[in-house]
Structure 1
Amino acid sequence: MVEGVREDYTECWPKSWLAADCPNLRILSVEYDTHLSDWKAKCPAENQRKSLAYRSQELLRKLKDAGVGERPVVWVAHSMGGLLVKKMLLDASKDPDLSPLIKNTKGILFYSVPHHGTFMAGYSVNVRYLLFPSIEVKELCRDSPALRDLNEKFLNITMEQEFKVLSFAETLPTSIGPMLKILVVPSQSADLGIGDLIQVDVDHLNICKPEKKDSFLYKRTLQFIQDALGGQSIK
């Protein structure tokens, strides 16, 4: 989850709000380093380690070791993290050892995920890397074959497994330095093609950072998790 730019935002709303409102939850956060110095790979092996496919397998192993999938799961993802979740679930659907994770996935919530790419992929390296990690950045071009293939296959397993899906889309441009403002993920790209799509008057960074506990973003997120959970406990 990318940190917001407003100092008055909560440090970690899943920890401070969600844990209190849903005490039966086990909340796990997955982070990846986004410092520019780490994005400049020094050798082909480093490039491979930062690929979407590599990170999917790496995180699936870690989640399995942590026991994730033994109880119902709700995924909450922002931006590039949503593509990673899609790839992980697609990979898990092909692995018999991970079938419990697929069976127990009850819902997926996407915050401004570029399902169909973004114009940001066409900007200079320094500009686009301000918002996206290096994994598969070249494939973030609008309507790229890789994104289209990932989306089509993910839609198939989503319909087969009947995952509940909710997507939020930004409507305000994000400031990239003092001179540039960009709508990073337009609503057309944030629309997965299944489930509800809700447009919110925030930018790309702050769409995953509800300002207050009684804000629409948080209340709708909480409602989705509770509905997907259906009275059960989740991991």
Structure 2
Amino acid sequence: MAPKGGGILYTIYDPEVSHSRVAKLDLVLVHGLNGDHIESWTHQESGICWPRDLLPEQLPGIRVLSFSYSADIYANTSVAGIRDNAQNLLSSLRDLREEGAEEESRPIVFAAHSLGGIIVKQALRMAHNDGLFKSLGILTRGLIFFGTPHAGSDHKRWLGMAKKFAPLAPGPRFFGWSRPSPLVESLTRNSRELQALCDDFRHLASEYDIVSFYEIAFFPGSKNIIVSQTSAVMGLPREEPIPLDQHHMDMVRFESESDSGFIITCGRLGRIMGKG
């Protein structure tokens, strides 16, 4: 996980290193609550991390970056909230891309799970308003959201999800802590911060091709969908809503190149690369 108080942007696949070719697109992954920059995207049984192990076989011209930040639900001593993590994401991405003219002009696609989608939306809002990061906003071509609670989620459901997630997350957990991270509070329904972000983002959304995956399988041990379709889909003109027959955690874990979510993701990324 990321160090306390900050985020790290890892390069998990670079075509220049692996195949001596210049990347045509940067794919930036942002995990969700109790997530990890590798484990969140890794199928538990096969051990396949699709952005690292499958995607380069289908689209070798994509450089894959994965943002790691302190997203523990409990025992999280980081005071970083949505805005802080969004700022760290932008700063890390800008610094990484300042190495040459080709990097600075390379298109960007963000793929985000759950809370990660809120951080991405906040980052794009900040990029739109801050000259330091404006080029990152302009070069962003597409957004792929996996179970992002754009309209928030029921408070009790999020806390119930936190208890379910805790044993699945990597690293030690201190179950004596009863107060959830401020990140959870940011996701409760009708949160003022979340509502303001949703309203502002609608004015920016026309600039991007958007795919919004929503889960249609109950979370294990419950009879609940963690993020409902009505929350995961924004209803925007350039948004494509797509159901995935997986629960909230597994919707970003593809076992093979035949998984429908992987096929759709590759298709949308290939289309964006083709546009240049």
1:116 to 125, 146, 151: 151
Q: Contact between 1:19 and 1:25, CA under 8 Å: does it hold in 2? A: yes
Cα 1:6–1:75 shift into 2, 3 Å: closer
How far apart, CA to CA, are the structure 1 residues paired with 2:161 and 2:45? 26
**Shift in Å at residue 226 of structure 1?**
1.0
How far apart, CA to CA, are the structure 2 residues paired with 1:55 and 1:65? 15
**Residue 141 of structure 1 corresponds to which residue in structure 2?**
188
5 Å-filtered alignment, 1:98-117, equals 98-117=133-152
Secondary structure at the aligned position of 2:64 is classed as: coil
Q: Contact between 1:106 and 1:229, CA under 8 Å: does it hold in 2? A: no
5 Å-filtered alignment, 1:22-171, equals 22-35=59-72, 38-39=75-76, 41=77, 46-47=78-79, 50-67=80-97, 70-119=105-154, 121-123=155-157, 125=159, 127-128=161-162, 130-131=164-165, 134-159=181-206, 162-171=207-216
How far apart, CA to CA, are the structure 2 residues paired with 1:34 and 1:110? 17
Give, as a single letter, the amino acid of the residue that structure 2 aligns with 1:54: D
**Shift in Å at residue 32 of structure 1?**
2.4
**Residue 176 of structure 2 corresponds to which residue in structure 1?**
none
RMSD, aligned CA? 2.4
Give, as a single letter, the amino acid of the residue that structure 2 aligns with 1:163: Y
Q: Contact between 1:4 and 1:205, CA under 8 Å: does it hold in 2? A: no
How far apart, CA to CA, are the structure 2 residues paired with 1:52 and 1:144? 12
Give, as a single letter, the amino acid of the residue that structure 1 aligns with 2:262: Y
How far apart, CA to CA, are the structure 1 residues paired with 2:231 and 2:158? 20
User: Percent sequence identity over matched residues?
Assistant: 26
2:227 pairs with 1:227: no
**Shift in Å at residue 27 of structure 1?**
0.8
Equivalent pairs counted in the alignment come to 219
Q: Contact between 2:128 and 2:134, CA under 8 Å: does it hold in 1? A: yes
- TM (normalized to structure 1)? 0.83
How far apart, CA to CA, are the structure 1 residues paired with 2:112 and 2:87? 17
